[in-house]
Structures are given as structure tokens and as C-alpha cells.
Amino acid sequence: MVSADAEVRDLTSAPDAVAPGDDFLPLNGTDYVEFYVGNARQAAHFFAHSFGYDVKAYLGPETGFRDRMSYMVQQGKIRFVLTSPMGPEGPIAEHVLLHGDGVKDLALSVDDAVSAYEEAGKRGGVPVRQPEVLEDEHGSITISAIATYGDTIHSFVDRSAYAGPFLPGFRSVEMPYFSPTPVGLKVVDHCVGNVALGDMDRYVQYYADVMGFKNLISFDDEDISTEYTALMSKVMSNGNERVKFPINEPADGKKKSQIEEYLDFYRGAGVQHMALLTDDILHTVAELRSRGVDFLYVPTTYYDDLQERVGELDEPIADLAELGILVDRDPDGYLLQIFTKPIGNRPTVFFEIIQRKGARSFGKGNFKALFEAIEREQDARGNL
């Protein structure tokens, strides 16, 4: 978690990228994702009852923090921190006022948070939090942080010497009235950021220079377009591909794109969606639908020639059609994916549910169907 008085400065130009293959900032994966929200307790209820997360830990006035309240919810290896301010002043309240409910911190697991901070810093990383050791009766955690697009940050977290419920300052909680039943979500597959027109390559270079990421896949406006709107995207990945950050920017179109709508309502760049991995998407999506999670609608005509387009599947096409799950294939296999509607009152943050059957790609064959579905929602909101 970012300290209350941390300042996120504008990104500066980074030095030349390091040689390919020099993994100077090894990452173990996503440690947690922290949301700044208007009401952390209600958000915890939502994630528990609708998405099957277990409420594991709490931080607030009772644990010595007078300015905020946080709940950590977990399912599989996915940890979300839901943080809200205790008053109208301070950076948390300002973030919620400006952006609505949104992602503040894409925290990354590392073996050495000091080295990660120093290596990123010497290559142009914008410092947010100098390395700090947090301690309690369960041990110690070392944490540091740098900035990325918008007001978003990356914390580096080394918890190798810690056996507590989450972070020092949090305590374990038991809330039987939450009664969560998991839906089968396992890990964070990737996190997608939206940036302004002309900024995508700037942040692509930032991730390459500062964190040693590689450009895994690129999509231009011919790949991602409909009759009305278009966007461009580049997928950045660390060396072992445990952390993948696609970055989107709008492209010229006849009408306002989903990226422009996001930027308007979020008031700037930020995290658009997180893809959550399951190993049984039929079960996961059926459970989520039964709990009231809303998904984008895909016309049934999408499934008329699905097998001709993607080949043989393990899943019955009728079941995929009933749940609205999309399918795409690449040389390594196929993937199944579906997208929720925005989870807050603003048309900004949403989730993708994804199952990979060998595929390493991101569903290029589904872009047209997906973005037409998003445009229908935009049109209903009067924002297309």
C-alpha cells in the first residue's frame, strides 16, 4: 500500500534500454491489486458475495490507522485490497473523488524490494516510495514503489520473512456472514491500462527501459476496430511472462471509442480491466451469473460458425453460447474469455474471465465481437 503522503511525479524520459535477456528486475508475479473505493466495507461484501472472494484481513482505526479502512480479499492466488478514506481530505479521498472506484496499485512480488527499486530507479523509474521495512509479531516485509501511467503505481513486495495474514497493520478477520463460496478464480493473468492518444509508445518504452519488459504482441487499428471506433494496443511482459501489461490508446474513428469513454470518466489514464484465470470457465461464469454479475452480451450468431473458425473444442458449443463465452485460437492452443460490464457507477473498470488451453495470446479473433458489444453499452449510456 502506498503511504498516505506519497507523491507521484510526472514520468521523465528513461535512458537507453538494457540488453535483451538481462532480467535485472525479476518478478514472481502479482502480489496484490489495491483499489481505492468509496466504501471498502461494501466493496468487500460485493467481492465476497458476487465473486466468491474470502475476506482475509482488515486494517483501520482499530489497528492504528486513522485515515483509512482496508479489507484484503482473496481467492486462489488473487489478492485484492479495497481501501477507502475515513474523511474528505488526503490522497485516497482525492483519488476516489477524481477517478471514482479504481486501481491505485498493481503490486508485484519480488525477492528483493530494495534491488528492484534501485534497478528501476537508475533506469528512469519514477520513485514513489523508498524501500521500507514493515514489522510486526509475524515478521517483516520490505516494500518500495515506482510510478506508471496516470496515478497508478507498482509496489515491489518482498514477503519472504513474513508469516502474517497480509501486511503489518492488517489483522486476520472472520466474518461468517460474508459466507463466500469460491467460483474457481486462480491468478491474475494480465492487467490492461488505458492511456491518452499518443502516450502508448511512451509507456511501452518506459516498461522496456525501467523494468526490462518486452513487447509480446502489438495490435493496430486494423486489428481492433469496428465500423465506428478503433484502438491500438501493445502487450508488455516481463521475462518469465508471469506479469503482462497490455497498454491501450484510442485511434481515430467515426465515434467515441471505449478508450476515450474510459479516459473521460476516469479523468485520465488508469487500469481498465484485470483478466482473472480459471481452469473451468463454464463453472466459473455460471456461478458468477447466478450471483448477479453482469456480462457483455454477444449475439448468438457469433456461435453459428464457431467450430469452423476455431476448430475442435473440449467444451460444448451450446454451453458456450448459453453463457456468452468467446473463443479464439493461436498456434499454441485456444482460449476462452468473457468480459463483465463495468463494476462501478462509472463506465471504467471491469473484469475479464479467461481460461487458457495452451494459448498465449489475447483473443485477437474476438476483438470485433467484443468491441461491438462494448459499443452497444456505450450507445445505451449515450457515450458512443
313-328: pLDDT as tens digits: 999 999 999 999 999 8
94-107: pLDDT as tens digits: 999 999 999 999 99
269-278: pLDDT as tens digits: 999 999 999 9
221-251: pLDDT as tens digits: 555 555 555 678 899 999 999 999 999 998 8
Alpha-carbon distance of 213 to 245, in angstroms, equals: 9
Alpha-carbon distance of 257 to 367, in angstroms, equals: 13
Asked if residue 257 lies in contact with residue 230, where contact means CB atoms within 8 angstroms, the answer is yes
Average pLDDT score, the chain: 88
Sequence-distant (6+) residues with CB within 8 A of 184 are 52, 278, 279, 280, 283, 284, 287
Backbone phi and psi for residue 168, each to the nearest 5 degrees, phi listed first: -55, 135
Question: With 60 as the cut, is the pLDDT of residue 381 above it?
Answer: yes
297-356: pLDDT as tens digits: 888 888 888 888 889 999 999 999 999 999 988 899 999 999 999 999 999 999 999 999
Alpha-carbon distance of 251 to 231, in angstroms, equals: 5
Confidence of residue 5 (pLDDT cuts 50, 70, 90): very low
Alpha-carbon distance of 309 to 94, in angstroms, equals: 47
Query: In the prediction, which pLDDT does 2 show?
Result: 47
Cell triple for 128: 514513489
Query: In the prediction, which pLDDT does 373 show?
Result: 62
Query: In the prediction, which pLDDT does 369 show?
Result: 63
Query: Percent of the chain beyond pLDDT 70?
Result: 85
36-65: pLDDT as tens digits: 999 999 999 999 999 999 999 999 999 999
| 185-381 matches 29-172 in CATH topology | yes
User: Residue 364: helix, strand or coil by DSSP?
Assistant: helix
Closest CA to 155 of 36, 306, 31: 31
Query: In the prediction, which pLDDT does 17 show?
Result: 42
Sequence-distant (6+) residues with CB within 8 A of 146 are 117, 120, 121, 125, 126, 127, 128, 153, 154, 156, 210
Q: What is the pTM of this model?
A: 0.90
Asked if residue 371 lies in contact with residue 226, where contact means CB atoms within 8 angstroms, the answer is yes
Backbone phi and psi for residue 282, each to the nearest 5 degrees, phi listed first: -60, -45
Question: With 70 as the cut, is the pLDDT of residue 371 above it?
Answer: no
Alpha-carbon distance of 316 to 337, in angstroms, equals: 15
Under CATH, which architecture does the 29-172 domain have? Roll (3.10)
Asked if residue 310 lies in contact with residue 331, where contact means CB atoms within 8 angstroms, the answer is no
User: What residue segments make up the domains of the chain, in order of their start?
Assistant: 29-172, 185-381
Q: Tell me if the domain spanning 185-381 has CATH number 2.40.110.10.
A: no
Query: In the prediction, which pLDDT does 8 show?
Result: 34
Residue found under cell 485460437: 329
142-186: pLDDT as tens digits: 999 999 999 999 999 999 999 999 999 999 997 766 667 899 999
Confidence of residue 10 (pLDDT cuts 50, 70, 90): very low
